[in-house]
Chains A and B, each alone.
Chain A
Amino acid sequence: MTEQPKSAYFLVDNKAAVISKTFAVLVDNEAGVLARVVGLFSGRGYNIESLTVAEVDHLDHTSRITIVTSGTSDVLEQIKHQLERLVPVHKVIDLTEETPGIQREMALVKVAGQGEKRVEAMRLSDVFRARVVDTTHSSFVFEITGNQQKIDAFVDLMRPLGLVEVSRTGVVAITRGAEAM
Chain B
Amino acid sequence: MTQDLSGAEMVIRALKDHGVRHIFGYPGGAVLPIYDALFQDDGIEHVLVRHEQGATHAAEGYARSTGKPGVVLVTSGPGATNAVTGLTDALMDSIPLVCITGQVPTHLIGNDAFQEADTVGITRPCTKHNWLVRDIKDLPRILHEAFYIATTGRPGPVVVDIPKDVQFKHGTYFGPSNIKHKTYQPRIKGDLRKIEQSVELIAQAKRPIFYTGGGIINSGLLGSQLLREFVRMTGFPITSTLMGLGAYPASDKQWLGMLGMHGTYEANMAMHDCDLMIAIGSRFDDRVTGRVDAFSPNSRKIHVDIDASSINKNVRVDVGIVGDAAHVLEDMIRLWKAKVLRPNGAALKSWWMQIDGWRARNCLAYKTAKDVIKPQQAIERLYELTRGRKTYISTEVGQHQMWAAQFYKFEEPHHWMTSGGLGTMGYGLPAAVGIQVAHPDALVVDIAGEASVQMTMQEISTAVQYDLPIKIFILNNRYMGMVRQWQQLLHGGRYSHSYSEALPDFVRLAEAYGAVGIRATTPGELDEKIKEMIDVKRPVLFDCVVDQHENCFPMIPSGAAHNEMILSDAAGEPQVSEAGKVLV
Contact = CB atoms under 8 A, between A and B. Distances in A.
Contacts of B149: 87
Contacts of A81: 308-309, 311
Interface of B: 120-121, 124-125, 128-129, 132, 134, 149, 181-184, 285-286, 289-294, 307-309, 311-314, 316, 558-559, 577-580, 582-584
Interface in A75-90: 77-78, 81-82, 84-85, 87-90
B308 A32 contact: no
A2 B121 CA distance: 42
A6 B128 contact: no
Q: Which secondary structure characterizes the binding site on chain B?
A: loop
A8 interface: yes
Contacts of B292: 6-8, 12
Given A78-B313, A81-B308, A7 B583 contact: yes
Nearest to B293: A12
Interface stretch (A35-43, A63-71, A118-126, A164-172): A35-43
B309 A6 contact: no
A35 B291 contact: no
A2 B579 contact: yes
Contacts of A27: 183
B124 A39 contact: yes
Nearest to A74: B312
A104 B405 CA distance: 56
A78 to B, nearest CB: 6
A7 B124 contact: no
B121 A7 contact: no
Given A74-B316, A84-B309, 8 more contacts: A2-B577, A2-B579, A6-B292, A7-B292, A43-B125, A74-B312, A81-B308, A87-B128
22 contacts: A2-B577, A5-B582, A5-B583, A6-B293, A6-B294, A6-B559, A7-B291, A7-B558, A8-B314, A27-B183, A28-B182, A35-B124, A39-B124, A39-B125, A74-B316, A77-B312, A78-B312, A78-B313, A85-B309, A87-B149, A87-B183, A87-B184
Nearest to B130: A32
A9 B286 contact: yes
A39 B130 CA distance: 14
Contacts of A84: 308-309
Q: Which 5 A-B pairs have the closest CB atoms?
A: A8-B286, A81-B309, A5-B579, A87-B129, A7-B583
Contacts of B559: 5-7
